[in-house]
Structure 1
Amino acid sequence: MRIKSISIGKKMLVVGILSLTMLFNLIGCTNQSEEAPADSSSNFNKEGLPIVTAPVTLDVLTVRWGNMGDTFKANKWLQDLEKETNVKINWQVMSSNDWGEQKSIMLASSTLPDIIFGDIVFSDSDIVNNLSYFRPLDDYIDNYMPNLKAAMEETPEMRQISTFPDGKMYSLPARLPSRPITTMQPVINKVWLDRLSLDVPDNIEELYNVFKAFKEKDPNQNGKPDEIPFSGSVDISMDFLSPFGITDLNNNSMMLKEGEPVFIPASIEYKEALKWVHKLYAEGLIDQELFTQDNTMSTAKQQNPDAALIGFSNQWIPDAVFGKWKDEYATIPSIAGPDGNRYQTGDPVGLSLRRNELLITTSSKHPEIAARWADQFYTNEASIQNFWGAIGTVIQKNEDGTYALMSPPEGTSADAWYWEQSVRDFGPKYVSPGFEKNIILDETTGDGLKLVIDKLGSEYVTEPFPNVMYSAEEFQELPTLTTDIDSYVKTTRAEWITKGNIDQEWDAYIKQLNDMGLKRLVEIRTDAYKRYTSVK
């Protein structure tokens, strides 16, 4: 047995060395022979184009979802950028399927490419726990990035979300174009309402009565009691609880109440919401498999081939979910709660802001060149071409100054086409709010449809607990708190929805949360929130 274990260990060592070698080769495969010294005054141009007189190559690592590949490199704007700047890009494209393992190897090696491109590559904690690998960018922004500086002056939130606990910016932000204010909105089967001569529900009492009718009156007309008035994900969606004033934009169970951070599952609003949901569950008005089904089971119900089965849900847009039944569904205004008010998850400043979209590593010998190259992305035209596709390929530029998206090729969805033709969600970009009026979108599908239905809930969007940044010490402490607390919250939520007894068990539940360190968890998040709001 000992001999076998040694053999296995040797094999693992060889595999690790090979993986590491492949990454080193990937990082270091740039042909340096044609390049002049990066920062010599005779080669580097602080302003204007080209950025360098003699060509310089930068290694740029990006990660793409699944098997998307590197077709985005054919984007004409990216190709023209190389010619105009004299900065050649050695794109290192990784798949998200393999990146988890490769990321650990790369960070352990401490040898990184010049640029990290896209927020899927490294998380906040990856960066904070490896700050020595990444350059503080404040001085580079001041000296070499006038486009980004102007963007952050117009939209200060970009600096706010990108400032780390030590007060410095290690990553660059993005503002995506034509993004909505709301996230998931209430979607109902309008055909069922019409067949039963019901009005669109306005409040939770009317919603309850609609659910009862959906369950009892065979609105899909197949003669079977198979209608499911409400169905959702594996766990009860916070969006379904929004009529009670509960919104959770960043999925961390935190809200702002009168400007103060609050842990939602310890609030009275949460308790009252679960009592209402238990009533629905006990009467068979919500999916009885809500806590046991996976996404495959949920999709099978949404796209059941014989008849529509779902009456109500919360979705981004209905046409992306319900398959052949998509035309039966309509987005409706946010449902009013017990207090008569409406609450909607989202962000009043828009869901367009991102951080960690580009990092310049300390391994790079060309940081000034990298900064100037990145700054080229922060113009309106550059950004729309890196979100949808190049002008002349995907975007039509009209004589009146507007920009219209072309129809995708036969057999390809618009969204798939955009991902094929651009870096899409990833990478630095900035589209100013004033420029967005020049963008013409198809209002019947995709991004355009979302902006139309966004108007139904945008006035009810609450101010969210923001996507704050934590320190290395806080990142070390948070998992020890959230692992137990989050698990306990989910377990009790499922029990109270399916079995009830929340009134009798509430005090013991709060005591258990406190014993698990809830006070410290809220303290950490409050400290991070105060740092976030102090950034100017």
Structure 2
Amino acid sequence: MFINKTWLDKLGLKMPTTWDELTKVLTAFKTQDPNGNGKADEVPFNMRRIDTTGFSLWNPFVLLNSLGITTSFAGTSPSFQGIYVKDGKVGNFLESDEYKSVVKYLHSLMEQGLIPADALTREDSAITADTVSDGKTAKSGMIVGWATTDFEKLQDQYVALPSLKATASTPDSEVTWDASQDLTELSNHAIAVSKNAPNKEAVYKVVNALYSEKVSIQQYYGDIPEDVTSSDNSTYTVNDRCFDSSTKDPCKATADRFAGWIPDSATIKNDKASEALREADSAYTKAFANVDETKDVMPIYVRPDVDDQTTITNNNTAVLNYALTKTATWIQKGGVDADWDAYVKKLDSVGLTQNVKLWQKYYDEYTKN
């Protein structure tokens, strides 16, 4: 989560630590013209829409971490379908009291005009336009994103907002944060060589070259010497334009999805993207300390067999379409308390309970040793 620190300072506000404090800050963002242009054009919480296919990165349900449910919204994690783990027990947050609490909170923000009324239908391009604005006058008070580089020329105004408590009485030990890190270690961004590949020795020479230091640098950052300058002592300096999305001459790199290896012995200077990520991650150090990477997260290596995965996928179609359609209605119009019991019953009837049992089986099998 990123918040406009420049606006906080201008309005004499402290960094929020609870949902109530965040509401007060967002209200000030809406009503006190923090960008100083005399227009009511501030978007207090520039929230991304909720897709009926599941929970991907950047969605507001990272607020579940305020209530002790550790999300993992990147890539192939079953967290996208609501699956979570707490103390080794698998559940689905779609039918949890914590989920209901987040829905009610988001509804309260929308009801007060602190989330755009069309937030659940806007295209990503509209959110990006508000996030980067004209590069001079900020519009977004808060977003869920990647790093301060999301704001481009406005990035100096923003800082990462540490994981919030739901209430002031929430124990510090219950506050967590999205744990997608192991995906980046074990994801499919590398090379696999078929055991039946012809001319295998030639293939291995290509792979070996890709994993060499200088070729890896060029895959990740851009060409040497046009995009990256190199010295004889494994020190590389990245060109500023590699981080400017408006440039007409972008650096030629595959970015973070590359087949290579940059060793610790290499020194990279002016790596603004990594610096921004490290700065953002540092805000969550305290919350990450409350997460057991096995007992509180579904490890990325846990995989159902083909038949059970088919069952899970088929169930998810009905579960997510129903649950997220209802969720959108609740955020916009309220009514979650009145609908809740019937909603949970419906989810169980269309396969949610079966999916939880299957994931528990595979979680136990893969983590028993």
Q: Is 2:32 the counterpart of 1:217?
A: yes
| Residues 7-56 of structure 1, C-alpha deviations (whole Å, 9 max, x = no match) | xxxxxxxxxxxxxxxxxxxxxxxxxxxxxxxxxxxxxxxxxxxxxxxxxx
Q: Tell me the TM-score normalised to structure 1 length.
A: 0.56
Q: As a proportion of its length, which structure holds more strand?
A: 1
Aligned to 1:429: 260
Cα pair distance change 1:195/1:375, threshold 3 Å: same
Aligned to 1:478: 312
* Residue correspondences, number: 343
| Residues 417-448 of structure 1, C-alpha deviations (whole Å, 9 max, x = no match) | 8861x4444454345xxx437433436x3122
Superposed, 1:11-410 pairs within 5 Å as 186-235=1-50, 236-246=59-69, 247-250=71-74, 251-305=80-134, 307-320=137-150, 322-338=151-167, 339-341=170-172, 342-347=175-180, 351-355=184-188, 357-361=190-194, 364-367=197-200, 369-371=202-204, 373-374=206-207, 377=210, 383-389=216-222, 403-408=235-240
Aligned to 1:456: 283
345-354 or 470-479, larger mean C-alpha shift: 345-354
Q: Is 2:360 the counterpart of 1:526?
A: yes
Cα pair distance change 1:523/1:494, threshold 3 Å: same
Deviation at 1:187, TM superposition (A): 1.0
Contact kept, 8 Å, 1:211 with 1:230, in 2: the verdict is: yes
| Residues 236-289 of structure 1, C-alpha deviations (whole Å, 9 max, x = no match) | 522244322342333332222112222121222112222222222222222221
Q: Tell me the TM-score normalised to structure 2 length.
A: 0.79
Aligned to 1:168: none
Contact kept, 8 Å, 2:49 with 2:122, in 1: the verdict is: yes
Contact kept, 8 Å, 1:378 with 1:430, in 2: the verdict is: yes
Contact kept, 8 Å, 2:221 with 2:238, in 1: the verdict is: no
Deviation at 1:230, TM superposition (A): 0.6
Q: Distance in 2 between matches of 1:482 and 1:210?
A: 37
Contact kept, 8 Å, 1:395 with 1:403, in 2: the verdict is: no
Q: Distance in 2 between matches of 1:419 and 1:534?
A: 46
Cα pair distance change 1:523/1:410, threshold 3 Å: closer
Deviation at 1:210, TM superposition (A): 0.7
Higher Cα radius of gyration:
1
472-481 or 352-361, larger mean C-alpha shift: 352-361
Letter in 2 for 1:297: A
Letter in 2 for 1:365: P
| Residues 272-317 of structure 1, C-alpha deviations (whole Å, 9 max, x = no match) | 2222222222222222211121112222322444843221112211
Aligned to 1:440: 268
Letter in 2 for 1:480: N
Between the two proteins, what is the percent identity of the paired residues? 26
Q: Distance in 1 between matches of 2:319 and 2:110?
A: 24
Aligned to 1:517: 351
Q: Distance in 2 between matches of 1:414 and 1:398?
A: 28
Deviation at 1:514, TM superposition (A): 0.6
Cα pair distance change 1:437/1:201, threshold 3 Å: farther
Letter in 2 for 1:189: N
Letter in 2 for 1:440: I
Root-mean-square deviation (CA, aligned residues, Å) is 3.3
SS of 1:319 mapped into structure 2: helix
Aligned to 2:56: none
Q: Distance in 1 between matches of 2:244 and 2:138?
A: 25
Q: Which runs of 5+ in 1 are unaligned?
A: 1-185
SS of 1:291 mapped into structure 2: coil
Deviation at 1:366, TM superposition (A): 3.1
Cα pair distance change 1:378/1:458, threshold 3 Å: farther
Cα pair distance change 1:283/1:260, threshold 3 Å: same
Cα pair distance change 1:526/1:279, threshold 3 Å: same
Aligned to 1:54: none
Contact kept, 8 Å, 2:148 with 2:276, in 1: the verdict is: no
